[in-house]
Every structure is written in C-alpha cells, then in structure tokens.
Amino acid sequence: MHRNDSAPPVLAVLDNLFGVSAHGMWAVGADGRICWGNVALRQMTGRSAASLAGAKADATRAELFGAATASGELHLPAAAGRPACWFEVVATPIADGELAGGRLEQFRDITSRKRSEGGLQDSERSYRQLFENNPQPMWVCDI
C-alpha cells in the first residue's frame, strides 16, 4: 500500500519483507483495521490500496469471501476479469512493537489443489457407480 511519510516504520519493514511475496498478505492493527497489504493481495482481490487501508479486516474478508474467519480455507467467487479461486488463510498474532495486538494474515492460493481434490472425488464417484450400477455380480479380491 502506498504510505505517507508519517506511516510507522514497521510498515516499511513489511514492504521490504513481504511486498513482492507471491502470497497475499495484510497486516491488521489491534483495532481490527487493515494497515498494510501487499501487491499480491491487491491483485488477488481486485482491490486498490486505498480501498483496503483503514477497512475493518473481518468485514472486508466477509465481503470478499463470504466468511469472516481469519483461518482455514476460503473461496473467492469469480468477478469481472478474475476466475474463482480458493485460499488458505493463516493469521499470525503480533505480540510486540507498533502493531502489538494485531495480526499478519497470509492468503495462499490453493486453487490447483482444490481442483485436484475435485477431480479425485469425481473419479472415485465414477468408479463407485461402475460397481454399484453394474447388473452383473462383481467383487474385488487380493491375490
């Protein structure tokens, strides 16, 4: 996010450490408001830095994903120019420093894993139906 000169130095550190990460990340202050977000997060969500800065994290997450939870797997529905995708969200509490009482949330794209899981479930369903719907007696045995 674009910061002004009066921004806390910790935000510059976050930019240096995570600014170009492939995973989306945002920092949430003790007040529950987003105070920093990286480029990947803005690209994933289609949100501008200005629309994220100062927004309540739980409300923004609920608006984007339909869930306010700060951990687990969340689905981001398709939007104009962006396909639907899945994210694993991990929140890490911040214990010390200027953002003490806040958290750093990481959004890791797991869309390919979810697609693979769906393909495996379809394959299992197909083979199960092969056996269940076959009019001829069938069995499987280990030799």
Residue 107: which of 32, 15, 27, 51 has the closest Cα?
27
Residue 77: which of 89, 66, 90 has the closest Cα?
66
- Between CA 55 and CA 34 the distance in angstroms is 6
- How far is CA 89 from each of CA 3, 66, 73, rounded to the nearest angstrom? 25, 14, 6
Strand 85-93 to strand 72-76: parallel, antiparallel, or no bridges (unpaired)?
Answer: antiparallel
pTM of the model: 0.75
56 has which bridge partners?
33
What is residue 6's predicted lDDT score, i.e. its pLDDT?
Answer: 54
What is residue 4's predicted lDDT score, i.e. its pLDDT?
Answer: 47
DSSP state at residue 72: E
74 has which bridge partners?
87
One-letter identity of residue 113: R
Which parts of the chain register pLDDT below 50?
1-4
Count Cβ atoms below 10 Å from residue 115 Cβ, excluding itself.
12
- Between CA 28 and CA 100 the distance in angstroms is 10
Q: What is the pLDDT of residues 75-100, one digit of tens each?
A: 988 887 888 899 999 999 999 988 99
What is residue 3's predicted lDDT score, i.e. its pLDDT?
Answer: 47
